[in-house]
Amino acid sequence: MISRALMILILLIVAAIGVPANAQQAADSVAPEAGSLAVRAERLPVSAEFAMIAAANPLAVEAGAQVLAAGGTAADAAVAVQLMLGLVEPQSSGLGGGAFLVYWDAEAKRLTTLDGRETAPSAATPTLFQDESGEPLKFFDAVVGGRSVGVPGTPKLLAEMHARWGKAQWADLLQPAIARAENGFAVSPRLNELIAEDGDRLKTDPVARDYFFGPAGEPLRVGVVLKNPDYAATVTTLAENGMDAFYSGPLAEMIVEKVQNADGNPGVLALDDLADYRVVERAPVCVTYRIYEVCGMGPPSSGALTVGQILGLLQPFDMASMSPDDPQTWRLIGDASRLAFADRGRYMADSDFVPMPVKGLLDPAYLAARAELLRGDRALESIEAGTPEWDHALDLADDEAIELPSTSHFVIQDQFGNIVSMTTTIENGFGSRLMVAGFLLNNELTDFSFRSHKDGVPIANRVEPGKRPRSSMAPTIVLQEGTPVLAVGSPGGSRIIPYVAKTLIAILDWRLDVQTAIDMPHLANRFGTYDLEKGTAAELMRPALEALGYKVNVRDLNSGLHAIALWGDDVPAVSVLESGAPYLAGGGDSRREGVVFGQGALKCEPVTACIR
């Protein structure tokens, strides 16, 4: 069991951020997943010497902390964290979804990225999301039901991670989620709010309706203890038989039956699709930015490429001397983002199916030439994709994919120096709204373009059998002279990219600590309209940005940023322990229910004395 001191520390962290201790482009018109109801207040980073977890729910952090306290690795803790998130934050991620992992192996001094993204069934066709006249379906007509469900990848990813880097017994890592599912957890304000917002869509499946709503059809109240015996049984099966039991046998049959018989909108997922699923190791995508190497997940994710392009476009500019209160700062960041998103829409997709100019997109000469477009003092009137160098003459049309913001991100560093940066998702909030064996199934296939061609020209991110839909997930690890100094990522649909880019600039250029960087108001520009975070100081930028030529939209911008940094004299925030040794500093996003746990006492009292 978790030690009393560890539990007290977790509860203190939770209380400090106002979360109950028992808490458990085309998309612009659709409301994002709502932020946490917790009061957002100024916070300092959580600091520690040895190990750290930052994740979106206190119970998930507790589960991972138990593993670290028992000597487990970051990979071990990630298994426990994800399985708990799938229970207490079911609308965002879980066994029915997919994930990307960026992993630092401290002993081998090697960065590895694993692709656990969902795949399209073998029976999927390019017209999967078109009506009888060949026109794209309305978004939620495509989402709700079996049509949108891809082959889940998260279970296989967890098994692969544990096989490579785990030390703890597999079954032991699954016990916290089993126990919590059996004993129940208190419905948090955020889960209550999201159930209410989704309303009738979530009632489409009788199983989901009975789980998330009361007998009179009312959303589960805050504080109600919610038990999930089906989830406990599923995770018990996986504890006893391994994750292969997810992809064949009775559980796989239940998943396929649910998808193929979804009332009004059946899907084409088959048993062979589950049996054939594989996790893919891919080369990390890295870009040099100042004195750092910023590394992340390559295609089918557009995250690392697009974040890398934004940073590469800003490389010629002295961002460190620019103020976050200056509209010209956001003109540079916003138009760099627009240029990168134009390339993303034209070129980026699953590179196993579509040739991609990965090297060309990050070539310093290409980015320097594109950066010249930023030399003015007003918003760019129009944005076009560039022409990076590559060895194909393939003509591609711009994508029309819809990608909505329901996902989760967590970061873990263990006492051995291993690091997990993992973004995990079922796509839209509550995914396909289909619930089976205690968990929700993804709607990940709607991350494909609903059109296969535009004006006769193929779209890179079109639906194809076995293909993985393009993602914006951007789990990131930053290296300095070959040593990790920062791990970060966020949920948020395609806005993940500007959320992560902004946070990297805030830490690496403006030298802010991780918590302050996370708490900064969001200003995000992907396709021309500048989104400003409602209820924050970002709203004050509206007149100045409009004067620069931007359309401006004030709206909720719900990130879920989590980060861990290695602080020291030669890395951001210039803060060290009294001993002179660097320490870990973590930040959690109060827009959701993010908390941070740190293991290892500081050498200075009070804790705030460690931070200048």
pLDDT band of residue 457 (cuts 50, 70, 90) is confident
Residue 308 lies in a domain: no
As a whole number of angstroms, the distance between CA 262 and CA 577 comes to 57
The whole-chain average pLDDT of the chain stands at 88
Nearest CA-CA partner of 429 in 409, 403, 461: 403
Residue 571 has pLDDT above 50, yes or no: no
As a whole number of angstroms, the distance between CA 475 and CA 500 comes to 9
Residue 354 lies in a domain: no
Question: Residue 567's pLDDT is what?
Answer: 63
CATH of the domain at 163: 3.60.20.40
Residue 395 burial (C-beta neighbours within 10 Å; 0-12, 13-18, 19+): exposed
Question: Residue 555's pLDDT is what?
Answer: 95
- Looking at the chain, the whole-number percentage of residues with pLDDT higher than 90 is 77
Nearest CA-CA partner of 274 in 150, 158, 162: 150
Q: What are phi and psi of 343, to 5 degrees?
A: -65, -40
User: Per residue in 107-137, is it b (16+ CB within 10 Å) or e — as a string?
Assistant: eeeebbbbbbbbbbbeebebebbbeeeeebb
Residue 395 has pLDDT above 70, yes or no: no
Residue 578 has pLDDT above 80, yes or no: no
Contact 423, 413 (CB under 8 A): no
pLDDT band of residue 459 (cuts 50, 70, 90) is confident
As a whole number of angstroms, the distance between CA 452 and CA 492 comes to 25
Integer angstrom CA distances of residue 86 from 27, 90, 154, 155, 338: 24, 5, 10, 11, 34
Question: Going by C-beta distance under 8 Å and a sequence separation of 6 or more, which residues neighbour residue 150?
Answer: 98, 118, 119, 120, 121, 269, 442, 444, 445, 469
Residue 348 lies in a domain: no
Question: Going by C-beta distance under 8 Å and a sequence separation of 6 or more, which residues neighbour residue 214?
Answer: 220, 221
Residue 389 lies in a domain: no
pLDDT band of residue 341 (cuts 50, 70, 90) is very high
Q: What are phi and psi of 134, to 5 degrees?
A: 85, 10
pLDDT band of residue 454 (cuts 50, 70, 90) is confident
As a whole number of angstroms, the distance between CA 410 and CA 88 comes to 14
Question: Going by C-beta distance under 8 Å and a sequence separation of 6 or more, which residues neighbour residue 65?
Answer: 2, 6, 10, 53, 77, 597, 599
User: For 293-336, how does the pLDDT look when each residue is reduced to its tens digit (9 = 90+)?
Assistant: 999 999 999 999 999 999 999 999 999 999 999 999 999 999 99
Q: Which amino acid is at 10?
A: I
Residue 304 lies in a domain: no
Q: Which amino acid is at 278?
A: R
pLDDT band of residue 372 (cuts 50, 70, 90) is very high
pLDDT band of residue 398 (cuts 50, 70, 90) is low
Residue 229 lies in a domain: yes
Residue 25 has pLDDT above 90, yes or no: no
User: For 264-298, how does the pLDDT look when each residue is reduced to its tens digit (9 = 90+)?
Assistant: 999 999 999 999 999 999 999 999 999 999 999 99
User: For 30-71, how does the pLDDT look when each residue is reduced to its tens digit (9 = 90+)?
Assistant: 434 544 333 334 567 788 888 999 999 999 999 999 999 999
Question: Residue 80's pLDDT is what?
Answer: 98
Domain residue limits at 121: 4-280+403-610
User: For 590-599, how does the pLDDT look when each residue is reduced to its tens digit (9 = 90+)?
Assistant: 898 889 998 8
SS (H, E, C) 521-552: CCEEECCCEEEEECCCHHHHHHHHHHHCCCEE
Residue 475 lies in a domain: yes
User: Can you tell me which residue has the tokens 């240029």?
Assistant: 339
Nearest CA-CA partner of 424 in 90, 17, 68, 33: 90
Overall average pLDDT of the 553-575 stretch: 75
Contact 170, 239 (CB under 8 A): yes
Residue 21 has pLDDT above 60, yes or no: no
And the tokens for 20? 């109950």
User: For 218-248, how does the pLDDT look when each residue is reduced to its tens digit (9 = 90+)?
Assistant: 999 999 999 999 999 999 999 999 999 999 9
- Mean pLDDT is lowest, of 20-34, 193-207, 484-498, 544-558, for 20-34
Question: Residue 391's pLDDT is what?
Answer: 59
Nearest CA-CA partner of 521 in 550, 545, 547, 551: 545
Question: Residue 33's pLDDT is what?
Answer: 53
User: For 343-361, how does the pLDDT look when each residue is reduced to its tens digit (9 = 90+)?
Assistant: 999 999 999 998 889 999 9
And the tokens for 69? 């306290």
Residue 44 lies in a domain: yes
Question: Going by C-beta distance under 8 Å and a sequence separation of 6 or more, which residues neighbour residue 365?
Answer: none
Question: Residue 61's pLDDT is what?
Answer: 95
What does the angle CA 464 – CA 469 – CA 474 come to, to the nearest 5 degrees? 160
Q: How many structural domains are present in the chain?
A: 1
Q: Count CB atoms within 10 A of the CB of residue 350.
A: 24
pLDDT band of residue 73 (cuts 50, 70, 90) is very high
Integer angstrom CA distances of residue 307 from 179, 297, 337, 343, 505: 39, 11, 8, 12, 11
**How far is CA 562 from its chain centroid?**
10
Catalytic residue among 119, 234, 407, 446: 407
User: For 119-175, how does the pLDDT look when each residue is reduced to its tens digit (9 = 90+)?
Assistant: 999 999 999 999 888 899 998 999 999 999 999 999 999 999 999 999 999 999 999
First to last CA, the chain: 36
As a whole number of angstroms, the distance between CA 308 and CA 505 comes to 12
pLDDT band of residue 396 (cuts 50, 70, 90) is very low
Residue 190 has pLDDT above 70, yes or no: yes
In the annotation, is 407 catalytic?
A: yes
Question: Residue 460's pLDDT is what?
Answer: 85
As a whole number of angstroms, the distance between CA 324 and CA 502 comes to 10
Question: Residue 509's pLDDT is what?
Answer: 96
- Mean pLDDT is lowest, of 10-24, 145-159, 262-276, 546-560, for 10-24
pLDDT band of residue 566 (cuts 50, 70, 90) is confident
Question: Going by C-beta distance under 8 Å and a sequence separation of 6 or more, which residues neighbour residue 5?
Answer: none
